[in-house]
Amino acid sequence: MSNEGWVAVIALGGLKIPKGLRPVVDEIVGITDPVCLSVLDEEYADLARRAVAKLARKRPSPLQAGRRATWAAGVVYALGQVNFLSDPASEPCVTADQLSAAFGVAKSTMSSKARQVRDLLRISHFSPEFQRADVTAQNPLVWIIEVNGVAMDARHAPPDIQVEAFQRGLIPYIPALGPDQTAARAGSQVTGTPPVASAAAETFPPAGGQLASSRPDAEAAAAPSEGADLLEHCSDLKRQLVEFARSRRFSRQFDQALRAGSGGKAVDESEFINIIDHFILQRPLPGDRTVVETFVRAHPELAEADRQMLLGWRDVVEGVFEIREWDGEAIIAVNLIDELTYRVYSNAGPVALASMEPGCFMIARMVPISVGWMLSGTQQTFGASQRAVVLQVAAELAAGYPRLVFRNPEKVTQGWELTRKQRAMFIEFFGSDLIVVPGPEVASRMNGFLAWYTRRVLEEADSEESSLDADVAARTPAFNVPGELASAPTVALSCDETEGLMFLANFALVREAFENPGLAADSEHRQAVLGYLKADSISAFPFRRLARADTARASQLFQHLLNKPGFSWERDGEALLRKHKPWCFGAKPQPPVTPLSSELAKALPFSV
């Protein structure tokens, strides 16, 4: 939305200014108007009038003390701060120095008064009441509301829901009417014509939805419970958290999260809401804190129990759940990925779970609360007849994101057992835990191993001899060789006790350099070793393995490569690896082999 055709500034008579404060307001607006109209624009002049009038209505009004020019400068600067006035991409764009000069007020004085104005009026970077139209249009978060416990974009909500959201001050205008018609309808209340709510209700039939509020649903209120009170409190905390995430301080990071989450493609409402939820609870910001962690640090007044619960929300469970039964206000569901059982609530009450009958499925995100787990973000539900489709989705998620499986400690234990077994069978088949082969042979070597491995597993499971060959052919995964491996002169095939199967292109060159440090002078060997060091796809494993054979030679190699005569692998090697491969340190290692239930294993397409 542009500012073309912006309506002239509102008349002071329509702003409900207390009679005793009208002279003060006239003086302040007599300063803001000419500065805004000459340096900024009519929209800023209009917003300034509204802000000054609201300050006048406070009891006692702060406008009664202080210089009029200071209040004028503080009001306009506060509005500019939350509307990106100093951003070169904004129109108009004015610096703090230019604005203070226009008002004839020191910049420090103007800044201090602006902070007071923001606090008094509770102006945030995305407060609809004091937001410019172009800023509103560019930020999707300002339109997110909760309806029946589900977050949604108000622009896609039924018109009667839009009206209620506007009346509560949750959105800047009614999307179905547009900003001008919304303003005209609101203004008509002064002249005696029908107000916004009744006018819109005549135009649009009710849709039956309800905005989430601080009051429990009527049905839930009939039988209050400790759980209902907790969920209502959680709902309030979540709303505060979302509002906090809307602030200007996070706008750039959210844009990055949206691009990463959407892959640069258009996303539907459900995907968008889950991207927001992930951004708030899980995505690290600069400094490695999340939005929820920043929120907790910014609100020391929070009760300790609330602080711990909010921080616990970083532990999001993402899964595919089979609904087993109802239990009071909750549903009991089994996560097909980690095979754990969850007691699940909705902050909108049992009515929001009404469609989730035993036997059906849902893909959902949830966070821990004291009585179980609470849904977070949006959910997709599937009928019992769609079991095969749901199992395939769960299998692909489990294979693609093993951390979802390893929430279950028993799965971690199983994973390490399978890893040890896989390594033992690799050594039995190849004669060593590491072999080096020409790149074109990788596919045949690995396919041979996988077929042999599958046969051994089926034999241990007492598969019938008559169908063993057919079972092996059907169950052996096809090994897809990446192009860079197939074309490499040499590739190391290895099975490590911690990292599992790995494939290292050009390994022979790297091994030769470790065995003969003088080869660091050869560009091909030098590039191979430094390439390993800089590559994010290669762990610390090959360096530790090769250096362990002869630390003195490893020291000589890196003295040449790094031009550091005093380099010692025993003293400096781990620091070097930590610098170039920080992701190999700190985090507790996960099993490289992911154990799946028999149902998920059968649903997974066989390829590696």
pLDDT of 289 reads: 92
Residues 186 and 253 in one domain: no
Q: Of the residues 407, 426, 458, which one is the last residue of a structural domain?
A: 407
The answer to whether the bond into 60 is cis (omega within 30° of 0) is yes
Which amino acid makes up residue 19? K
Residues 191 and 267 in one domain: no
**Residue 84 is part of which domain span?**
12-136
Q: Which percentage of the chain shows pLDDT scores above 90? A: 52
Q: What is the CATH number of the domain that holds 43?
A: 1.10.472
Residues 191 and 230 in one domain: no
Q: Of the residues 203, 235, 254, which one is the last residue of a structural domain?
A: 203
Q: Which two tokens stand for residue 352?
A: 């929001």
Residue 593 in domain: no
Residue 185 in domain: yes
- The whole-model pTM stands at 0.62
Residue 210 in domain: no
Length of the chain counted residue by residue:
608
Residues 108 and 33 in one domain: yes
Residues 365 and 272 in one domain: yes
pLDDT, tens digit (0-9, with 9 covering 90-100), for 306-320: 999 999 999 999 999
* Weakly modelled stretches of the chain, pLDDT under 50: 1-7, 188-224, 607-608
Non-local CB neighbours of 212 within 8 Å, separated by 6+ positions: 145, 146, 147, 148, 149, 235, 239, 347, 348
Residues 304 and 375 in one domain: yes
Residues 355 and 441 in one domain: no
Residue 60 in domain: yes
Q: What is the total count of domains within the chain?
A: 4
pLDDT of 264 reads: 63
Residues 452 and 303 in one domain: no
Q: Of the residues 108, 136, 164, which one is the last residue of a structural domain?
A: 136
Non-local CB neighbours of 266 within 8 Å, separated by 6+ positions: none
pLDDT of 581 reads: 93
Buried (b) or exposed (e) across 251-273, using 16+ Cβ within 10 A? bebbeebbeebeeeeeeebbebb
Residues 105 and 158 in one domain: no
Residue 127 in domain: yes
pLDDT of 88 reads: 78
What is the Cα–Cα distance from 557 to 549, expressed in whole angstroms?
A: 13
Residue 211 in domain: no
pLDDT, tens digit (0-9, with 9 covering 90-100), for 437-492: 999 999 999 999 988 988 888 787 665 665 677 777 777 777 888 888 889 999 99
Residue 296 in domain: yes
Residue 420 in domain: yes
pLDDT of 205 reads: 38
Residues 152 and 238 in one domain: no
Residues 425 and 535 in one domain: yes
Residues 185 and 289 in one domain: no
How wide is the angle at C-alpha 348 spanned by C-alphas 347 and 353, nearest 5°? Answer: 100
pLDDT of 139 reads: 60
pLDDT, the chain, mean: 84
pLDDT of 10 reads: 80
